[in-house]
């Protein structure tokens, strides 16, 4: 049976994600920035949380780990950031497999936002958890890496099948989209998407997950033709007040 994926809003604009395999009766929480809302959603569904998968060390993605661990979850995350994630039980890196029930995700190392940032890619299920690297119409800030790192990540993401669903770590779409309209003023797909995004946000609705196909059409960072162009977009976005 397919995995079920549930969005859990945490903190001010983060998303934690629950991955549930009904056959195995197993649940993974991805990036629980705080535990309470995640544990509440798990309990509401009659599930128990068996694992946490962490994309990077930032507290808005790991803040709930200790409490999830106390609730019985095994914590998997980037080996390269183990010193900054004291709750880690299982350390992984590029090419490793992580499992929920009979479903397997491959770990991709995608540095730039943080130096050891990882993503979890379910190739068969056509799903990827990108943390703070790929966002809807945006990419993560370059805190511990450079534009060449993030450009390489974007090239890898862009090579995935269009129908791959992208589960990212934040509701940043509207702000990203306002900049995307400026970065690519002639891209009609961005303008069209922004009408939907503005309407969804006005109704208080989320705008993620997204898909690789949608990002290939509307994300200036994924569409950048070189590391230099991505660097230019990133610099401009960092100071953009839309
Ligand atoms: Zn972050
Ligand atoms: Fe974050």
| pLDDT per position as a tens digit, 33-84 | 999 999 999 999 999 999 999 999 999 999 999 999 999 999 999 999 999 9
Q: Which pLDDT belongs to residue 123? A: 98
Q: Residue 134 Cα, ligand 2 centroid: separation in angstroms?
A: 11
- Could you tell me how many helices (H) and strands (E) the chain has, helices first? 9, 14
Other Cβ atoms less than 10 A from the Cβ of 145: the count is 19
Q: How far is the CA of 163 from the centre of ligand 1 (A)?
A: 25
C-beta separation of 53 from 30 below 8 A:
yes
Residue 241 confidence class, pLDDT cut points 50, 70, 90: confident
Range 79-108 average pLDDT: 98
Kindly report, residue by residue over 144-195, the tens digit of the pLDDT: 999 999 999 999 999 999 999 999 999 999 999 999 999 999 999 999 999 9
* Domains of the chain and any CATH numbers: 133-242 (3.60.15.10)
Is residue 110 pLDDT above 90, yes or no?
yes
pLDDT band at 203 (very low <50, low <70, confident <90, very high): very high
Average pLDDT rounded to a whole number, residues 206-231: 98
Say which ligand is closest to the CA of 33: 2
pLDDT at 232 over 90: yes
CA of 157 relative to ligand 1 center, distance in Å: 18
Mean pLDDT of 15-36: 98
User: How far is residue 221's CA from residue 151's CA, in Å, rounded to a whole number?
Assistant: 8
Tell me how far the alpha carbon of residue 83 lies from the centroid of ligand 1, in angstroms. Answer: 16
Distance of CA 38 to the CA centre of its chain: 16
pLDDT tier, 98 (very low <50, low <70, confident <90, very high otherwise) = very high
Closest ligand relative to 56 C-alpha? 1
Is pLDDT of 242 > 80? no
Q: Give the model's pLDDT for residue 1.
A: 72
Distance 176 CA to ligand 2 centre (A): 14
* Span from the CA of 23 to the centroid of ligand 2 (angstroms): 31
CB contact at 8 A, 77 and 92: yes
């Amino acid at each position: 049976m397919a995995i079920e994926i549930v969005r859990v809003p945490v903190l001010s604009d983060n998303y934690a994600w629950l991955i549930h395999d009904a056959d195995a009766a197993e649940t993974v929480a991805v990036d629980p920035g705080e535990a309470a809302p995640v544990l509440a959603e798990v309990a509401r569904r009659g599930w128990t949380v068996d694992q946490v998968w962490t994309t990077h060390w930032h507290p808005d993605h790991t803040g709930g780990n200790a409490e999830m661990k106390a609730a019985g979850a095994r914590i998997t995350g980037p080996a390269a950031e183990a010193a900054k994630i004291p709750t880690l039980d299982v350390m992984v890196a590029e090419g490793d497999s992580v499992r929920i029930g009979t479903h397997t995700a491959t770990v991709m190392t995608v540095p730039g936002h943080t130096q050891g940032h990882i993503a979890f890619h379910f190739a068969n299920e056509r799903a990827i958890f990108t943390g703070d690297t790929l966002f809807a119409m945006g990419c993560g800030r370059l805190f511990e890496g450079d534009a060449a790192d993030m450009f390489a990540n974007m090239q890898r993401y862009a090579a995935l099948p269009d129908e791959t669903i992208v589960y990212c770590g934040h509701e940043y779409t509207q702000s990203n989209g306002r900049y995307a309209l400026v970065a690519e003023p002639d891209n009609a797909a961005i303008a069209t998407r922004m009408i939907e995004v503005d309407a969804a946000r006005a109704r208080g609705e989320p705008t993620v997950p997204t898909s690789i196909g949608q990002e290939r059409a509307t994300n200036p960072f994924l569409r950048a033709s070189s590391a230099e162009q991505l660097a230019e977009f990133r610099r401009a976005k960092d100071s953009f007040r839309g």
